A and B are shown apart, each in its own frame.
Chain A
Amino acid sequence: SQQGEEDPQALSIQEGENATMNCSYKTSINNLQWYRQNSGRGLVHLILIRSNEREKHSGRLRVTLDTSKKSSSLLITASRAADTASYFCATGDTGRRALTFGSGTRLQVQP
């Protein structure tokens, strides 16, 4: 069953703009991770936020986590054409021995 659901499913912006993607989940988690996938390639880990954290930064990435709303957001600032990819949230909960991935947001950054 799918735990994380990303929103929007697709997003198209101009280079230099900010991109925001949201992820909602259903059960209690102990961490949430964001991954990036270039078309047809393997997923690459971007950032992890633990359930006791509210915000985390890594370069141009900013992730927030609201456990009361069971949601997270990924913000990419000053986007570049090279940021074009699909972005997935993945949740880890103690009841399962695996991360559960959402269906992803496809981001298109127009040069």
Chain B
Amino acid sequence: EAQVTQNPRYLITVTGKKLTVTCSQNMNHEYMSWYRQDPGLGLRQIYYSMNVEVTDKGDVPEGYKVSRKEKRNFPLILESPSPNQTSLYFCASSSGQGTSGNTIYFGEGSWLTVV
């Protein structure tokens, strides 16, 4: 079954404690990205990756890091989380950029609370 799997699904952490949200896809997609969803703001892209070892900033990259060492994995790293990073995070993948009409597949979301 085609899947984008992200973990953890729910996390409460404290300010400044580094955390990683993992993301894995089983569709051999080249393109992966991370979004955050906040009330009234829709989905905003944090980072994306066109392929292995190729990553680029989205609209709201501050406070986040990513890596793409393998095609299927695209972890999101919060080196020093702050309360304004409390949000619902989605990992997504597609066979193309998405702008050319490729369907984007989303994970189930990770609820992150930073206190």
Q: Are B97 and A98 in contact (CB under 8 A)?
A: yes
Q: Are A42 and B108 in contact (CB under 8 A)?
A: yes
CB distance from B31 to the nearest CB of A (A): 8
Check B58 for interface membership: any CB of A closer than 8 A: yes
22 contacts between A and B (CB under 8 A): A2-B42, A4-B42, A30-B101, A33-B103, A33-B104, A41-B109, A42-B4, A42-B106, A43-B90, A44-B106, A90-B98, A92-B97, A92-B99, A92-B100, A97-B97, A98-B97, A98-B98, A99-B99, A101-B35, A101-B42, A102-B42, A103-B42
For chain B, residues 19 to 59, give those with C-beta under 8 angstroms from any C-beta of chain A. 33, 35, 40-45, 48, 50, 56, 58-59
Check A59 for interface membership: any CB of B closer than 8 A: no
Q: Which residues of B contact A (CB under 8 A)?
A: 4, 33, 35, 40-45, 48, 50, 56, 58-59, 88, 90, 92, 97-101, 103-109, 111
Q: Are A41 and B108 in contact (CB under 8 A)?
A: yes
Q: Are A94 and B43 in contact (CB under 8 A)?
A: no
Q: Are A92 and B101 in contact (CB under 8 A)?
A: yes
Measured between alpha carbons, how far is A84 from B40 in the docked complex, in Å? 18
Measured between alpha carbons, how far is A40 from B104 in the docked complex, in Å? 17
Q: Are A97 and B42 in contact (CB under 8 A)?
A: no
Chain B's closest residue to A4 (CB) is: B42
The total of chain A residues at the interface (CB under 8 A) is: 28
Q: Which residues of A contact B (CB under 8 A)?
A: 1-2, 4, 30-31, 33, 35, 40-45, 48, 50, 88, 90, 92-94, 96-99, 101-104
Scoring B43, B45, B109 by chain A CB atoms within 10 A of each residue's CB, the highest score goes to B43
Chain B contacts for A99, CB-based, 8 A: 98-99, 104
Chain A contacts for B44, CB-based, 8 A: 101
Measured between alpha carbons, how far is A35 from B104 in the docked complex, in Å? 9
Q: Are B106 and A30 in contact (CB under 8 A)?
A: no
Q: Are B50 and A97 in contact (CB under 8 A)?
A: yes
Q: Are A104 and B42 in contact (CB under 8 A)?
A: yes
